[in-house]
Amino acid sequence: MTEPLLSVRDLVVEFPTRRGTLRAIDKVSFDIAEGEVLGMVGESGAGKSITGSAIIGLIEPPGRIAGGEIWLRGHRIDNLPREKLRRIRGKRIGMVFQDPLTSLNPLYTVADQLIETIRTHIDVGEKEARRRAIALLDRVGIPAAARRIDDYPHHFSGGMRQRVVIALALCAEPELVIADEPTTALDVSVQAQIIDVLKEICAERGASVMLITHDMGVIAETADRVAVLYAGRLAEIGPVRDVIKHAEHPYTAGLMGSIPTLTQTSKRLVQIPGSMPRLNAIPPGCAFNPRCEQAFERCRTERPEPLARGGGRQVACWLYDRAEARHD
């Protein structure tokens, strides 16, 4: 087996507060293979974005990585000095954030921002950088790119701005793109366009993608594998088709049932009682046990670790533990 592009091992992210330390990410492990699109879903507060920020070393202090390791192509990156990490960020890992308005500098033209980024990471001259920037804008679908490159961000619509951000994330030819809710601020018709652009252009360049979103539909259309997070822990990870069609973790199953679809016929949606626990009140045992209909004694006391289920799938649930099966 080839080495994964990105490997996250037992990642722990903590935020010290006056009332004690909050664990936003609690021992999360996953890999992203070369050229793969890994979807990361979960509800607000599940730790999706924090995971992304941890990988690129952008966790806001006082938050910190309190444990675990992050490896990029066999090199450990979570303990690098700031200056070294800065060179990886942008060059080897590109980022697309949710709100295109805040990720572009309103005082510089798109050309300034693209050319600066290209020249920071790649050794080319001004002219060549500009030529590359125009080609890239053209590729992400901005009409009349050669003329529009000298416009300011406010001249572009929301969808076009997000295309510019994608161009910016890709201009240094990164190996991995972390896209954090790239379409959440956009309308559905534009969302479809942006997802297509992101998917195509990354496939073209062989870049892997970590797609963070709360929208299962976007994951279903885009990702190869999906990781489901709950209260900072990995609930389930596996190939998209398996997880969506045959969810094994009770949380994933509930989540899938609660999404209204365009074809379903039942009148009521599946309802998971309650809501996700706050970080300072995560129950002992499995974090999902108070909301889980299938919870039993062990779930309340012992935390389930991800169990391999074959086919590259892992589920953190005691229901699938062999020892439990024997009891039945």
Partner 1 sequence: MTDVLLKVEGLTRYFDVSKPWLNRVIERSEKQFLTATADVSFEIRRGETFALVGESGSGKSTIAKMIVGLLEPSAGRIDFDGQEMNFHSDAAMRTLRRRFQMIFQDPFASLNPRWRVGDIIAEPIRTFGLLRGPAVMREVGRLLDVVGLSASDVGKFPHEFSGGQRQRIAIARALSSRPEFIVCDEPTSALDVSVQAQILNLMRDLQDEFGLTYLLISHDLSVVRHMSNRIGVLYLGRLVEQADGKKLFTEPQHPYSRMLLDAVPDLELSGRRRRQVEGEIPNPINPPPGCAFHPRCPLAFDRCRVELPQPVPTPGGQAACFALKPGG
Does position 280 interact with partner 1 (CB under 8 A)? The reply is no
Cα separation of 120 and 91, whole Å?
Answer: 9
Does position 144 interact with partner 1 (CB under 8 A)? The reply is no
Nearer to partner 1, 257 or 283 (CB): 257
Task: Give the shortest CB-213-to-partner 1 separation in angstroms.
Answer: 10
Sheet harboring 233-239: ordered strands across?
A: 93-96, 176-180, 208-212, 37-41, 225-230, 233-239, 313-315, 307-310
Q: Angle at the Cα of 322 (from 321 to 327), degrees rounded to 5?
A: 100
Task: Give the shortest CB-76-to-partner 1 separation in angstroms.
Answer: 34
| Choice from 49, 191, 208, 289 touching partner 1 (CB under 8 A) | 191
Nearer to partner 1, 105 or 275 (CB): 275
Does position 203 interact with partner 1 (CB under 8 A)? The reply is no
Return the H-helix or E-strand segment holding 240.
Answer: helix 240-245
| Choice from 52, 159, 250, 306 touching partner 1 (CB under 8 A) | 159
Only segment of 23-31, 81-89, 208-216, 293-301 that touches partner 1 (CB under 8 A): 208-216
Near partner 1 in 97-126, by CB under 8 A: none
Give the length of the chain.
328
Token match 């202090």: residue? Answer: 61
| Choice from 124, 190, 199, 303 touching partner 1 (CB under 8 A) | 190
| Choice from 188, 281, 323, 325 touching partner 1 (CB under 8 A) | 188
Cα separation of 291 and 279, whole Å?
Answer: 16
Task: Tell me whether residue 235 is exposed, middle or buried, using C-beta atoms within 10 angstroms of its C-beta: 0 to 12, 13 to 18, 19 or more.
Answer: buried
Task: Give the shortest CB-143-to-partner 1 separation in angstroms.
Answer: 10
Does position 240 interact with partner 1 (CB under 8 A)? The reply is yes
Do the beta carbons of residue 202 and residue 177 sit within 8 Å?
A: yes
Per-residue DSSP letter, 127: H
Does position 290 interact with partner 1 (CB under 8 A)? The reply is no
User: How many amino acids of this chain bind partner 1 (CB under 8 A)?
Assistant: 44
Task: Give the shortest CB-83-to-partner 1 separation in angstroms.
Answer: 38
Do the beta carbons of residue 209 and residue 200 sit within 8 Å?
A: no
Helices (H), 122-170: 126-139, 145-148, 158-170
Kindly list the residues in this chain that would bind partner 1 in the complex (CB under 8 A).
43-44, 157, 159-160, 187-193, 195-196, 214-218, 220-221, 240-241, 244-245, 254-255, 257-264, 267-273, 275-276
